Amino acid sequence: MHIRFVLIFSVALCFCCSCSKLVEIDPPRNTITTGQVFTTDAQATSAMAGVYINMLTYGALGSGRITLLTGNSSDELVGYGGVNAAFYFFNANRLQLKDAPADLWNNIYQSVYDANAVMEGIAASTSTMLHDDVKKTLTGEAKFVRAFSYFYLTNLFGDVPLALTVDFNKTKQLPRAPQAEVYKQVIRDLQDAAALLPEDYSAGNGGLRVRPNKWAATLLLARALLYTGNYTDAVTQATAVIDHASLYGLESNLNNVFSTTSREAIWQLQQDVANSMTFNATFEGCTFLPAPLHTGQAYYYLSPELLSAFEPGDKRRADWVDSTDNSSSSGAAGNYRYPFKYKVGNANNDRSGTGTATEYYVMLRLAEAYLVRAEASAHGAGGGASAAIADLDIIRRRAGLPDLSSNLNQTQLLAAVAKERQTEFFCEWGHRWFDLKRTGRATQVLSAIPLKLPWQGDFQLLYPIPLTEIQKDPYLKQNPGY
């Protein structure tokens, strides 16, 4: 694959919290210079820190682009201005080749390459100053990042090339691997990661949840097992996370869920407060929050379909949705509701470059473990229907909603799971888009939305692969319909 990868190794992170020196490593190249990067524990740890820094660049995994694009593709977001909106073709499901999200493709493969480079660099190191416990943890983190990256690649693009090495000669012309094979690799990597990673957050600076641990790998494994229909094992893995109550618990106050101190957070990415694009805010906060908060323009606002999914009294509707009336600035009346899970954006971030972040970007959180287990139980695994209802009620009570009936049949129960996932995970990591596709409901739900009519075809449920990649690799075939 002729994607141009740049692996950022921030050796300066060994000595300070911010990145001040970057080493670029470009293909074609068979191995990294292990003498420079993987000689000591500090250097190897810094190399892995560079992987996370890369994930927080614009268009990468931590940039909120997945939430933004899939929110437009599904029934969550509407772009302000209709046909003139920047993401109209995602909103209307009228994607063409020119609309392929090349930034996501390239930057997620960047993370794959970075993870492979760390694994290979550690494996090749013979330094006695790089200790086995550090090797084990960093290898686990790299495997986790690779699995996380491939989970999103295959859910966005379908069959994708499996690049499991930094050897350019082996990756430059890879064919697309079937999605089932991609999932097998994701599951293998997560099983390995769970066995290698520590159970606590001792690897993170001051115990922050900014580096994945065993339970992050376990939760993502539960998700992958659910998606592939292995409901029994999905229950087992989700339960393992839920039962680790010494570290995790649902936040009773919904406004604390996305905070830096959230007990619900299982893995977060920590932004650089000196980054001039976001400062101490997150990318999602900057994307969705208007400036000023209640009179500025919401460039992407919540759809009527999503707003109607909330039951009366749902605290998620009260705490995670806000509104703006920008009629005075736009000249057109309109009260638009926008995602308010993150409270800090361009309107209220600290632009000094020395501010304190009160929110980190939440990659994985505990509520998902309950909803994974509920769905798997609804399919007959674990404790069956009664256990599924019990898990759903835990999420509903936190949202201030009454318990479900104990007499739901399976169809009703699966509908209840879907509704709770919709209102719990709206505008968060593409959950709604992926849920509609994997449960076979996407065409029925989306083709009923006026903006998406006439329905262009189910091929729009996968994004097109960037044309530049197709042109460079004769073995890389485009998704049908484009």
- 182 and 304 share one domain: no
Predicted pLDDT at 85: 67
- 10 and 131 share one domain: yes
- 76 and 193 share one domain: yes
Assess contact for 212 and 144: CB atoms under 8 A.
yes
What pLDDT, in 10s, does the model give residues 279-311?
A: 999 999 999 999 999 999 899 999 999 999 999
Inform me whether the pLDDT recorded for 384 exceeds 70.
Answer: yes
- 151 and 295 share one domain: no
Assess contact for 267 and 52: CB atoms under 8 A.
no
Residue 12 lies in a domain: yes
Give Cβ neighbours of residue 179 (< 8 Å, ≥ 6 apart). Answer: 154, 158, 159
Residue 94 lies in a domain: yes
- 46 and 176 share one domain: yes
Q: Is 443 helix (H, G, I), strand (E, B) or coil?
A: helix
- The single residue listed with the structure tokens 């129960």 is 413
- Of 280, 304, 339, which residue constitutes the final position of a domain? 339
Give me the percent of the chain exceeding a pLDDT of 70.
90
- 187 and 297 share one domain: no
- For residue 64, the tally of other CB atoms under 10 A from its CB is 25
Inform me whether the pLDDT recorded for 17 exceeds 80.
Answer: no
Predicted pLDDT at 206: 85
Beta bridge partners of 278: none
- The single residue listed with the structure tokens 């304190």 is 356
Q: Which of 13-27, 247-261, 361-375, 382-396 is least confident?
A: 13-27
How many structural domains comprise the chain? Answer: 2
C-alpha torsion sign, points 68, 72, 74, 77: positive
Task: Give Dmax (Cα) for the chain.
Answer: 68
The residue type of 332 is: A
Query: What is the DSSP secondary structure assignment for residue 311, as one 8-state letter?
Result: P
For 151-162, what is the mean pLDDT?
A: 98
- 193 and 314 share one domain: no
Query: What is the DSSP secondary structure assignment for residue 96, as one 8-state letter?
Result: -
Inform me whether the pLDDT recorded for 256 exceeds 80.
Answer: yes
pLDDT band at 158 (very low <50, low <70, confident <90, very high): very high
345: nearest Cα among 291, 416, 271: 291
- 40 and 150 share one domain: yes
Residue 265 lies in a domain: no
What pLDDT, in 10s, does the model give residues 219-251?
A: 999 999 999 999 999 999 999 999 999 999 999
Tell me the residue range of the domain where 297 lies: 290-339
Residue 284 lies in a domain: no
1: nearest Cα among 161, 172, 159, 116: 172
C-alpha torsion sign, points 144, 145, 148, 151: negative
DSSP state string for 377-422: HHTT-TTHHHHHHHHHHHHHHHTT-PPPPTT--HHHHHHHHHHHHH
For 319-338, what is the mean pLDDT?
A: 80
For all residues of the chain together, what is the average pLDDT? Answer: 91
Assess contact for 1 and 171: CB atoms under 8 A.
yes
Burial 294-312 (b: 16+ CB within 10 A, else e): eebbbbbbbbebbeebbee
Residue 166 lies in a domain: yes
309: nearest Cα among 320, 300, 299, 298: 320
- 294 and 193 share one domain: no
Give the C-alpha distances (Å, rounded to integers) separating 26 from 30, 144, 244, 295. Answer: 10, 23, 41, 46
- 138 and 13 share one domain: yes
Beta bridge partners of 160: 177
Assess contact for 364 and 429: CB atoms under 8 A.
no
- Of 339, 360, 379, which residue constitutes the final position of a domain? 339
- Of 339, 373, 396, which residue constitutes the final position of a domain? 339
Predicted pLDDT at 371: 99
For 27-32, what is the mean pLDDT?
A: 32
E strand or H helix at 266: strand 265-269
What's the burial of 461, exposed, middle or buried (CB within 10 Å: 0-12/13-18/19+)?
A: middle
Predicted pLDDT at 345: 98
Residue 300 lies in a domain: yes
- 71 and 173 share one domain: yes
Predicted pLDDT at 80: 82
- The CATH number assigned to the domain holding 23 equals 1.25.40.890
| Helix/strand/coil (H/E/C) assignment for every residue in 220-254 | HHHHHHHHCCCHHHHHHHHHHHHCCCCCCCCCCCH
For 317-336, what is the mean pLDDT?
A: 80
Predicted pLDDT at 18: 31
Residue 407 lies in a domain: no
- 159 and 300 share one domain: no
Residue 62 lies in a domain: yes
What pLDDT, in 10s, does the model give residues 350-370?
A: 999 999 999 999 999 999 999
E strand or H helix at 54: helix 41-55
Give the C-alpha distances (Å, rounded to integers) separating 389 from 222, 270, 344, 377. Answer: 19, 35, 35, 9
Inform me whether the pLDDT recorded for 81 exceeds 90.
Answer: no
Predicted pLDDT at 172: 86
